[in-house]
Structure 1
Amino acid sequence: MLLSLSDAIHDPVITVVASYAGDDAADPTTAPIQLHIGQVWFDEDFRLRLWLPEGHDFRAGDLLTLHLDNRTGVDSYDAELRVYRTSYKGQLLQRLSDNRLLVECRDFSLVHGISEVLAHRAPGYAFPADERPLQPLPITPLTALPQLDPDQRDNKIGVLVTRTAEQPHTTVMAFLSTRDDDIFIISFPSTFKVQQLQRNPSCCFAIDERANFTFDKAIQWNYTLIDAIAHEVPVDHPIYEPVKNAFIEKNPWEVAFFDDPNVRLYHLQCQTSFCPARKG
């Protein structure tokens, strides 16, 4: 039985931190998402100590979402994704130093496979209501399969960041990527993450680059960060079959999902991307 996050995820652990930026941070339909790569140590009462080596402009009271998982060292995957993972909703409690923060937990659900194994919700916290209507996603503008990125063949999973009320939500996803940093994922329209995309197709994706090597010093080099717009790829679209075949070839444990008539293929069209490892 797990009693703390550190029972499942050993610290220090690299994290993707997502937040809404600017004065419109209360409105997820207009506020930009800002991403940071940091490192986390677990504290008492489900608090986290967070280090952001590249700096930040956070203030006490700001809402932060931290993606946490133990995927480092996991060499193979199956359809149930047997990795401990959570989208930790936190609030900045205190600046311990310029780049070190103490974050208090608002809510998290730690999942392994398809089961919740540990959860915590702060007293008085309620999941925020979201009145934004669900809208069909636009159809992909692609007419042919783009050139795929062979450098990402061994990087099997990434982190999808969607716009939810109050603070972003993160989800681990298998993916296929192109040389232009476009991303393809699969999911079901009934899932929480897809419904957030239907409320606002603007999203982010963090490609986890740690399949073969982890940068322990320059930890920000472990991810490629992408701002994207989500589209759907209908089953009768010209690129559906080529993308499906390439997706399965890269992520063979996902093949059974395509047998489900309810599964959908989504295209995250890159708007901007940033990978610190490519500097210089």
Structure 2
Amino acid sequence: MTWKPRLIALDIDGTLTREGTETISPAVRAAVGRAVDHGATVVLSTGRSLIGTTPIADDLGLRGTTAICSNGAVWWDTDSREVVHRDVFDTAPVLDVLRRELPGGVYASEVTGVGNIAVGTFPDGDLWGEVHQVDFAALAAHPTSRLVVRWLDRTPEQLALQLLDLDLPGVTPSIDHGVAWLTLTAPGVTKGSALERLRARLGVSESDTLAIGDGHNDEAMLRWAARGVAMGQAPATVHAVADAVTATVLEDGAALELDRWFAP
């Protein structure tokens, strides 16, 4: 019998949508629909906040499943439309380090389902929902599911170098490959850890899992899956942890991978 994945985890930006857009191509939309029609559980697994994730879930018509947001920290039920799990952490210790190491950085702490409280101004389009400016004392007093830092006018490589060998207390860090953007979640919380908990809850075999992604925050997810697939435009380090590499997002690589198992 031909193998078909029963649990499919899909990143959003750079996998389902092109960077900087909210548009899903007809080929990708149709491929996701075929997977669902064949009985697979399709889970959006993204670094986006809940507010940025729900329109994509609705656009794809996903029901009877869970969306995993904020790099694994927030779980949203697509039927009840409620948050069913949330991991939070104390931001104060890591903020003390980052304020010293990243001069000129801007900070945003997620308020799940609402938006963010922020210190500093992010470029347009960076944050979803309401943004309320606060001082560092208020930011540090707010336990959150996701803290993001944008180091303005710097590259991802400069950010990674600045944080190299630096101990960031009480968090799991992830650096974006497109801009100097740092995402922090609670200790041990990644897309991979969240998906493993969900897999066990659903009773799906480890061997029946598929994941597709393109970023550094997808590496744990790709390692978790029985078949982890990197998008063609993903960095070399992401390709290195994947079982396979598909075409780029501009070439509908996610659709090509899904069509291997759920042919039109």
TM-score, with structure 1 as normaliser: 0.25
Structure richer in helix, relative to its length: 2
Higher relative contact order (CA 8 A, sep 6+): 2
TM-score, with structure 2 as normaliser: 0.26
